[in-house]
A and B are shown apart, each in its own frame.
Chain A
Amino acid sequence: MDRFEQELARMMRDSQEDAPFEDRHRRHLRAAVRARQRVRAACVATGSVLALAALGAALLVLPNVFTEGGPASPRPRPVTSAESVPTPPTARPASGAERAPVPART
């Protein structure tokens, strides 16, 4: 710490005033604590109400789901179709009879 820093620290310490904790401070502090407690209680109550509402909604919906034997969403479709779809031959036929006629030159 150089001289300036020491002087700065001294100024900060010496500038402290004697300020007692008065009754008005105590009253304000207690009022602020009570206000914060009320806010916290309100938050907890709101959270509880929301949780109960969510639980009630879930209880109303779930029995219907179970009686229907599962979720109402459509079952997934099979990957391949049940009907046979004719597909064009990919390989050339081996026999020459089935070969298309070649026009003869004249």
Chain B
Amino acid sequence: MGGGRAEEFDRFVTARWSALLHLARLLTGGDRHRAEDLLQEALVKLWFAWPKVAGQAPEAYVRRVLARAAARSARRRWWGEHPVERLPDPPGAADETAAVDERSRLEAMLALLPARQRAAVVLRYYQDLPEQQVAQALGCPVGTARSLTARGVARLRRLLADAVEPAEPVE
């Protein structure tokens, strides 16, 4: 790595690392180590594509690489995701660790989604991308992206409802 290219690249990564790591973390359902690995792989690809994409949209390029890599992997165990019977309790109003709890709860819910649904939901709601760009990032038709997002949100809605009001056991 050398020259002005390296400096430019380093500046971009330093400026965007935190946001990109958060995106990777949401895409992996809260697996921090896997998120770092995923982001590093995406940034290595960015380095080789840098002369082409530096002047255009390097962040969009990284987002696309991250989303596709995350959506490709449906191997939950390899990703270190462990489905749980019950989601963590919702935070209390006066809880000092409310933010941490909320993050844990969100990540636990996201981890329960299939990888492609999770990627679609994260791109749509965290990145605030329109459906067309979600489809572009995932490399699928717009209808598929819309369906993935809708199913993902519906699942999250059910999970959240179950967490707030657990179903009564049938006797």
Contact = CB atoms under 8 A, between A and B. Distances in A.
Given A15-B103, A29-B13, A8 B156 contact: yes
Nearest to B125: A9
Interface stretch (A20-28, A69-77, A94-102): A20-28
A19 B125 CA distance: 21
Interface residues of A, number: 24
B141 to A, nearest CB: 22
B22 A14 contact: no
Contacts of B99: 14-15
A68 interface: no
A106 B47 CA distance: 112
Interface string A46-79: 0000000000000000000000000000000000
Interface string B110-133: 000000000001100110100000
A34 B40 CA distance: 13
A44 interface: no
B1 interface: yes
B35 to A, nearest CB: 10
A16 B19 contact: yes
Interface of B: 1, 10, 13-14, 17-19, 21-22, 26, 36, 40-41, 43-44, 47-48, 99, 102-103, 106-107, 121-122, 125-126, 128, 153, 156-157, 160
